[in-house]
Structure 1
Amino acid sequence: MKQSISKQLVKYLEDRGVEYLFGLCGHTNIAVLAALEGSKVTFVNTRHEQIAAHMADGYARAKKKTAVLLSHLGPGLTNASTGVANAALDSIPMVVIAGDIPSHYYGKHPHQEVNLHYDASQSEIYRPFVKRVWRVERPDLFPEILEKAFQLAESGRPGPVLVSVPMDIFSMEVDTKLFERLALHTKTLQKPSMDDVTAERIVRTLVEARNPLIYAGGGVLLADAADELREFATHLSIPVAHTLMGKGALPDDHPLTLGMTGFWGTKFVNDKCLGADWVIGLGTSFKEADCSSWEPEYTFSFPPSKLIHIDIDSNEIGRNFPVEIGVVTDLKEALKVLNRVARRLLPEGRKNEALLNAIQDYRAEFIAGNREHVKNAAYPMRPERILSVVREVLPRDGIVTTDVGWNKNGVGQQFPIYTPGSILTPGGYATMGFGAPAALGAKLACPDRLVVALVGDGGFGQNPSVLATAVEMNIPVVWVVMNNYAYGTIAGLQKAHYGTTMGTLFRKDGEPYSPDFGAVARAYGAEGVRIESAEQFKTVLAQAVASGKPFVIDVSMLNEPVPTAGHWNINHIYSPGLAVSHVAIP
């Protein structure tokens, strides 16, 4: 029996349990859209492909499942590329299916073809950041390519893949047996683990260390290993510092959680890392911002500290720091073995009351130091008060998405996360415009959980048409727009080093300018309020949560830099030899 590729593709997605197909129409993919009519797979229609990619990213993070993106050729594929690259740098599994030029027009430069270096080369655009690209040359090869695409996206270090399909192939018929045989292939691969000998060496090393430290990266959350991490840290009483992407791997109210390191880390956390004689890095690539540009006097110094590094990707082990013990394994499986060995070697575990007291005292001191800002009733609002109010209203398992700027750096530093995986932030690519659409994807993945997007006015202004999709599908996300009438972080950086804010502030006739994002929301059919006072914010936020509708809250915010004792080498690049960082912009 023969059937069109597009119809069999939809059935394959249904059989694989795919709930949503994120994307935007074009003449190259409407055969697939037509085949979706009446399908169990819901097509999520967006107004821009970058929105679709970020929604897919947010869905995959929250659902812990591969997302699928459908794109048109040429400009559709390039519009989506930023969102797909963001997912790639944060190791988020995604299968991108893109329409391509008709196979029989190869080399003729048909409508919207990318061919300036060689013919039919649109898939090359994605090669630098996806795990693999396929261009389907024959219809009978499409089924096995699709199976390989999902398997590669999900295995090892997860990430996006691209399958570029000439549009005529979508309409061609192939024998259904080509797809049916795929059902015989496993959809779940057994993941690599760690042997007991290596685990015992690691546990004994940490037990014998004077000041051991666990450094948790986003890989802990990708491996769904938060429970195993908590058990290991608690049994051996080892403090846990984390990267931006590792935030929440151990809840922020756990007695052994230190906090985020690096430029937006605090001196206490960075000093604890510097003072560690042994560090065990779990699922982290030791990125620049997390490691204070790798300069040894600020966060990590290897040597004299010694490093144990465990990661699923061998390329990351030893990339930035020398490693004493390196292990390539799945983190969940590795921590299961480490916990078993630790219980065998130390059945009663151990306690470190002095360490617990030091962490408790640090937290109390940090909270006290922030209290004045949190209670400040000034308007525009202090960013610390905005975060504090959101945390009060948000349930313990509520999901927060961020963008870039105060809402990412400040959240990483001082917004408590209590449920692993409940903060979605653009880490490696730090993409402005991620937070607003990612929240929609997260809500589709977890409809019973409250989802709040903390975004800046710059980030929300990137793609406000995200509201159209929210209204059409009735996705009740709350967006809090932390509006400082600027690309605030860059403005503070430029002002500190160059004495100007050229190109960073939003101004009209010399006065601060911003659209009324509440009114913008209402124009799309969502709910929206522009806050007029600090006291009003909590009431409106509670109203937004209770509304069960897409709701935008526009909050004017002081343009104050995130307080930090950390270090970033860009400051030396701008102002060599001077201790200059960010400044506030009135």
Structure 2
Amino acid sequence: MKRLVSNLLVEYLEDRGVEHIFGLCGHTNIAFLSQLEKSSINFVNVRHEQIAAHMADGYARAKKETSVVLSHLGPGLTNAATGVANAALDNIPMVVIAGDVPSHYYGKHPHQEVNYHADGSQYEIYRPFVKRAWRVDRPDLFPEIIEKAFQLAESGKPGPVLVSVPMDMFSKEIDDTLFEKTKHHTRSIAKPSINEEKAKEIILSLLEAKSPVIYAGGGVILADAAEELLEFVNHFDIPVAHTLMGKGVIPDDNELVLGMTGFWGTKFINEKTRTADQIFALGTQFAEADSSSWEPEYTFNIPDTKLIQIDIDPNEIGRNYPVEIGVVADLKEALTVLNRVAKEIAPDGVSNSKIKEEIKNYRKEFTQSNLEASESNSYPLSPQRILADVRSVIPRDAYITTDVGWNKNGVGQQFPIYEPGSILTPGGYATMGFGAPAAMGAKIAKKDKVVISLVGDGGFGQNPALLATAVEENIPVIWIVMNNSSYGTIAGLEKAHFDTTYGTVFKRGEDTYSPNYAEIAKGYGVEAVKIQSADEFKPALEQAIASNRPFVLDVPMVNNPVPTDGHWNIMDIYSPGKKVHHESVQ
């Protein structure tokens, strides 16, 4: 029987278990929206496509499922591009369905088409950052394309894909058996593992090492392999350092967790990885900030340190450092085999009380170094006080989203995370504006969890219209706006290297300026408090959690840099040979 593509697509998405679609209407996609109204799928309506993409990103991370974004052509597609690129660089599975110009108008430059280099080519805008971009040129090909899209988004190294749909395709009729055929295709693909021989080689190499370190990246979270990694770590008593994206993969109160490496890592952590004789790297690309710009005197001294690397993506094996043993495998599958082989070779495990004592003493020293700032009653608040109060109030399993600046770098360095996958941060693209909408997606995915967005005023100011969606959908996220009236991290950089903060600090005339985000939130119908003293913050946060409603806390904050002993080569570009980092901006 022949039926509308739009109707069959909705049924296909329902059958795949899609529960939410994030997006914004346009004349190219309303044929699909009209059918979606009758569906069990909830369309989450937003005021800007970047909000939709970041919400879908946060949803996919928390739900551990592929998310779906609906977009219009032209400005709709480009508005969403930043959020889709952010998902791409953090390997988040996402299917973007975008309306396109009518297929019979190719070459005529119809309304809102981008076509300066080729007709009907708007989908090519996404080519640099999606795993694949399709344009649906025939309605009978739609079922095959959408099935391939989901499979590609989810398999190997996950990531976004684009299906660009000329608007007339939604209104074409095709035989419904074409969509029925997709149900015969498996939606669960076996993932590559590691063979016994290679597993033995890895275990024996680690047993021979005198000072091995496990280096865990975000790939462990994506593979849902945190439990297997914890079992491996505890069996061998090997200390664990992690990337920014790997934070929380082992609970931060585990006695073998060193912490985050690189620029925002501490000297103790960086020295442990630099002087290790064996690094066992899992699901990491050794990104620049995590690796101190790959300069051997700071974080990793490879190949003097021998490297074992496992990743689902063969392109990552040896990309930035030469490997002694390289394995392409799914980390959950690989660690399952490694745990079994480890218990065969070393059934009693290994005990390393020395490293545990070193880590314990380091944590005590580090906590003491932050104590004055984390207990300070100064106003505006110290960022350390904000983080300390948040951690003391929220449940152990709360979800946290960060943006960029202090709320990302400081959280990575000093804010304990206890549940794997419960911190969502923009790693690869470091997108300002990610954290606030991503928290909404996470809350939709995890309705029973407390969800906190730690976000700077720069990041929150990117898209405050997200509050309208929070009210309409009743999404009880708490936004903590760490408000230093500036792009604080960049202001600190510019001040340190060029003795100016031009273009980085918000001012009205000569006076520091900030919108009153609490009043803005109230205008949207969101409960809000502007904090007037350090002692007000903690009770206000408790009130926000108890309300179970969308809630904004506007928290004036001192513009101090995140303390760091790490290294980033951009400092040498600004000030060669001077060893300058950031400065406080008052």
**Segments of 4+ moved more than 3 angstroms:** none
After TM superposition, give the deviation of residue 181 of structure 1 in Å: 1.0
After TM superposition, give the deviation of residue 37 of structure 1 in Å: 1.3
Q: Which residue of 2 aligns with 1:124?
A: 124
Which runs of structure 2 are paired with 1:110-189 in the superposition (5 Å)?
A: 110-189=110-189
Which runs of structure 2 are paired with 1:30-429 in the superposition (5 Å)?
A: 30-429=30-429
Q: Which residue of 2 aligns with 1:542?
A: 542
Q: CA RMSD in A?
A: 0.4
Q: Which residue of 1 aligns with 2:477?
A: 477
CA distance in 2, matches of 1:521, 1:326: 51
Q: Which residue of 2 aligns with 1:569?
A: 569
After TM superposition, give the deviation of residue 184 of structure 1 in Å: 1.0
CA distance in 1, matches of 2:343, 2:558: 50
Task: Supply the AA of the counterpart residue of 2:550.
Answer: P
Gaps of at least 5 residues in structure 1 are none
CA distance in 2, matches of 1:191, 1:455: 36
After TM superposition, give the deviation of residue 389 of structure 1 in Å: 0.6
After TM superposition, give the deviation of residue 508 of structure 1 in Å: 0.6
CA distance in 1, matches of 2:529, 2:509: 25
CA distance in 2, matches of 1:454, 1:355: 33
CA distance in 2, matches of 1:399, 1:393: 13
Task: Supply the AA of the counterpart residue of 2:543.
Answer: Q
Gaps of at least 5 residues in structure 2 are none
After TM superposition, give the deviation of residue 500 of structure 1 in Å: 0.5
After TM superposition, give the deviation of residue 394 of structure 1 in Å: 1.1
After TM superposition, give the deviation of residue 381 of structure 1 in Å: 0.3
CA distance in 1, matches of 2:548, 2:209: 52
Task: Note the alpha carbon deviations across 1:287-318, whole angstroms, 9 max, x for none.
Answer: 00000000000000112101001000000111
CA distance in 2, matches of 1:398, 1:374: 20
Report SS of the residue matched to 1:156.
coil
After TM superposition, give the deviation of residue 86 of structure 1 in Å: 0.1
CA distance in 2, matches of 1:372, 1:416: 18
* Count, aligned residues: 586
Report SS of the residue matched to 1:287.
coil
Task: Note the alpha carbon deviations across 1:500-535, whole angstroms, 9 max, x for none.
Answer: 001000001211110111101100001011000000
Task: Supply the AA of the counterpart residue of 1:556.
Answer: P
CA distance in 2, matches of 1:556, 1:338: 49
Identical aligned residues as a percent: 68
CA distance in 2, matches of 1:355, 1:281: 19
After TM superposition, give the deviation of residue 322 of structure 1 in Å: 0.5
Report SS of the residue matched to 1:68.
strand
Q: Taking structure 1 as the reference length, what is the TM-score of the superposition?
A: 1.00
After TM superposition, give the deviation of residue 393 of structure 1 in Å: 1.0
Report SS of the residue matched to 1:476.
coil
CA distance in 1, matches of 2:24, 2:203: 51
Q: Taking structure 2 as the reference length, what is the TM-score of the superposition?
A: 1.00
After TM superposition, give the deviation of residue 38 of structure 1 in Å: 2.1
Task: Note the alpha carbon deviations across 1:359-404, whole angstroms, 9 max, x for none.
Answer: 0010111111111111100000000010011111110110000000
After TM superposition, give the deviation of residue 472 of structure 1 in Å: 0.3
Instruction: Pick which of 366-375 and 283-292 moved more.
Output: 366-375
After TM superposition, give the deviation of residue 579 of structure 1 in Å: 1.1
Task: Supply the AA of the counterpart residue of 1:402.
Answer: T
CA distance in 2, matches of 1:555, 1:411: 16
After TM superposition, give the deviation of residue 493 of structure 1 in Å: 0.1
Q: Which residue of 1 aligns with 2:527?
A: 527
CA distance in 2, matches of 1:28, 1:13: 19
Q: Which residue of 2 aligns with 1:494?
A: 494
Task: Supply the AA of the counterpart residue of 2:128.
Answer: P
